[in-house]
Amino acid sequence: MTIPVQALQDLPPLARHQTSRSQPTIAANHLGVRVSPGFAKADGLGDEPMWFACDPQPLRDAKLVSVSAAACQDADLSVDAVQTSPDWLRLLSGAATFEEVPSYATAYAGHQFGFFVPRLGDGRALCLGQVNGREFQLKGAGSTPYARHADGRAVLRSSVREFLCSEAMAALGIPTTRALSLVTSSTPVFREIPEPAAIVCRTAASFVRFGHFEYFSQRARPDRIDQLIKQLLEVDPTLMMAPEGLTPKERIGALIHAVSGRTARLMADWTSVGFMHGVMNTDNFSILGLTIDYGPFGFMEAFEANAICNHSDGQGRYAFNQQPSIGLWNIQRLLLALWSSIPEDDTGGPAAFDRLHDEVVASYRRDFDKAFRDHFRQKLGLETLVPDQRPLAEQLIDTLFECLEQQQADFTQFFRATSKIDPGTSPGHVSWEPLVQTLALPDRAQAWLGMYAAALSPSNLGDSADQWRAARRAKNPAFVLRNWVAEAVIRSLEDEADAAPLAAALAVLGDPFEDHPAHAQWRETPPGWAKELSVSCSS
């Protein structure tokens, strides 16, 4: 493999940015929080700056419609304080910033649908600073120097989706940026039609993306790449153990292996809940291995291995079954960017690059495969199989997806129904009914069901039947954010200014392994009105 040299395209200069602070400010002390510049360290300025200071643009008639108690807890904040304090509303709606630190937008590049774009950046995301150890980022707070003539806003519908899905993923145990709050407004934004603008406040230890490294790589700024790595290690020392004594090449090797492992496991996590991201560009991939940038995502309903959730992705580049290999493709882009920061005399030449590349590809595949198999063994309840039955578990997993596709089984319902099974009974037994009902043509699935029932014989399993079922309930969620549920919540907010469904959805998705009988309808496949829903990149 050779390293392509990317020519820096002729880019117009960035629009003049606002460094004066014209916005009202609020002292962090006053709110009882610790604030620091986080990513926006002073030495990230100068030529080729890593960030620009810029003020948010407030929303009109800002209203805090929802606050995630779990995200507040994660950031060591009192949910009551956030919900009731006028100062928090001003911060979360772009009407004020912290006195101690500037708000800022960062520079990144990225491969979008396979093509390199040399300058993207936070066009509509603005960090307020690091609060209690978490970066707080407003999405939709107005244009920044990276807005590329766009309005810097986010529409309500996409904000509701990001808000709910961030918290749903966190509750499913999947690494993700969090969503602390959703603010609505009467500020209009123009997409195909005028729509209300909203702001989600996202939180994460870091929002650094693969694209941040690509940006400074193509600008030949190894010092900036170094700085990015140092800053990442400050917020997440577990990313790389004992980085001090390493040579630049060893450090890059350790980092790429760490990010590759996290990315591979994240791809397996997504697969395990049927999550489709929709826009897996390198600028939407987090160095910390978090799910980031919720746009036209979807959760698998009737199983289709090559389902495409993003209406704008005509080629299916980001189809469900492409996600693991796209994760690897993105890791390869990151490796190229990181490698470019090693002083040329220290690289060991193309052979050394090829060696590292091949090791990373092999370990990514191993990490993905292990995480994928662990997930599906647990989902099916095969993790405690006695050793001589393990080949049967592997065979069941290997044939599962073809069976699900042939049966058009609803992904979430199918796995959840395993928690009703009485292990040791045959698929004709009443305890199998919920599972069998998720299948379109149960007769044609007899072979797979028979093999599964045989594997679940009590003599093969270590657990009691009750323990076994409880473990299935804890592994297979009853609720994921179905598109039609998000749409119903959005319509209630937009058409009736009714935030009750949003609050209910946040509560249910924040506790997805319980049954929540009052909201049993949200476990169902789309009703008639929602059959043709589609989501695209426009937001």
DSSP letter, residue 290: -
Is 195 a binding residue for Mg ion by CB under 5 A? The answer is no
Q: Tell which positions 184-243 bind ligand AMP, by CB under 6 A.
A: none
Contact assessment for residue 424 and residue 457, using Cβ atoms and an 8 Å cutoff: yes
CB of 534 to ligand AMP, least distance (A): 17
- Rounded Cα distance, 272 and 251, in Å: 32
Tell me if residue 283 is catalytic: yes
- Rounded Cα distance, 437 and 458, in Å: 24
Is 123 a binding residue for ligand AMP by CB under 6 A? The answer is yes
Is 158 a binding residue for ligand AMP by CB under 6 A? The answer is no
Amino acid at 219: R
Q: Tell which positions 126-145 bind Mg ion, by CB under 5 A.
A: none
Catalytic residue among 55, 122, 283, 313: 283
For 283-307, give one letter per residue: b (16+ CB within 10 A) or e.
bbbbbbbbbbbbbbbbbbbbbbeeb
What's the Cα-to-Cα distance from 211 to each of 50, 106, 215, rounded to whole Å? 12, 11, 6
CB of 277 to Mg ion, least distance (A): 11
H helical segments located in 247-286: 248-273
Segment contacting ligand AMP (CB under 6 A): 143-151, 236-244, 435-443, 502-510? 143-151
Is 286 a binding residue for Mg ion by CB under 5 A? The answer is no
Contact assessment for residue 59 and residue 93, using Cβ atoms and an 8 Å cutoff: yes
- Rounded Cα distance, 155 and 539, in Å: 6
Binder of ligand AMP out of 64, 120, 131, 493 (CB under 6 A): 120
For 388-402, give one letter per residue: b (16+ CB within 10 A) or e.
ebeebbeebbeebbe
Amino acid at 65: V
- Rounded Cα distance, 262 and 280, in Å: 15
CB of 482 to ligand AMP, least distance (A): 22
Is 293 a binding residue for Mg ion by CB under 5 A? The answer is yes
Binder of Mg ion out of 187, 284, 323, 341 (CB under 5 A): 284
Is 150 a binding residue for ligand AMP by CB under 6 A? The answer is yes
CB of 391 to ligand AMP, least distance (A): 43
* Residue 524: Cβ within 10 Å count: 13
CB of 168 to Mg ion, least distance (A): 19
Segment contacting ligand AMP (CB under 6 A): 149-157, 246-254, 315-323, 366-374? 149-157
What's phi and psi for 154, nearest 5 deg? -130, 140
Binder of ligand AMP out of 121, 253, 298, 427 (CB under 6 A): 121
Is 124 a binding residue for ligand AMP by CB under 6 A? The answer is yes
Contact assessment for residue 184 and residue 298, using Cβ atoms and an 8 Å cutoff: no
Segment contacting ligand AMP (CB under 6 A): 96-104, 115-123, 213-221, 431-439? 115-123
Name the residue with the smallest CB distance to ligand AMP: 123
- Rounded Cα distance, 255 and 187, in Å: 43
Is 539 a binding residue for Mg ion by CB under 5 A? The answer is no
Is 162 a binding residue for Mg ion by CB under 5 A? The answer is no
CB of 286 to ligand AMP, least distance (A): 12
Is 15 a binding residue for ligand AMP by CB under 6 A? The answer is no
Binder of ligand AMP out of 214, 293, 313, 383 (CB under 6 A): 293
Amino acid at 277: H
- Binding residues for ligand AMP, rule CB under 6 A, total 16
103, 133, 132, 108: which is closest to 40 by C-alpha?
A: 103
Active-site residue set: 283
**Contact footprint for ligand AMP (CB under 6 A):** 120-124, 143, 147, 150-153, 279, 284, 293, 295, 537
Applying CB under 5 A, which residues contact Mg ion? 284, 293
